[in-house]
Amino acid sequence: MRHMSIEIEIYVAPSGKKPYVSWEKKLDRQTRGIVATRIARLKIGNFGDCKALAKAKGIYELRIHHGAGYRVYFGKKKQAIVILLCGGDKGTQKKDIQKAKMFWEEYLNG
């Protein structure tokens, strides 16, 4: 069985900052490893516990059942490219979705 190959890109804001990277750096080592494993699975087309956000067209939420209930927000470009926008946890979900919407709009219009 051949796996689909997905390219992972990280969103870069007009300021040059990378919100996803900033978030990831704040995580403890164990959580970073768990998140990295989930991203590695994306690369082979295994999206796992993931859903499209109804109120945020084009944005998806990758749910990670660890600790605070971590989330990674991303958009899809074509069929084989995923753009990591930002991350958060269940407690900051509403705010994180708003940020992801803004980042995705900037990406699409940039």
Name the DSSP letter for residue 14: T
Q: In this predicted model, what pLDDT tens digit does every residue of 1-55 receive, in sequence order?
A: 556 789 999 999 999 999 999 999 999 999 999 999 999 999 999 999 999 998 8
Question: Which range marks the domain in which residue 66 is found?
Answer: 7-109
Q: How many domains is the chain partitioned into structurally?
A: 1
Q: How crowded is the C-beta side of 82, counted as CA atoms within 13 Å?
A: 26
Would 85 be classed as within a structural domain?
yes
Pick the closest to residue 61 from 71, 70, 76 (CA basis): 71
Structure tokens at 17: 């900052």
If you average pLDDT over residues 52-69, what whole number do you get?
91
Return the CATH number at 20. Answer: 3.30.2310.20
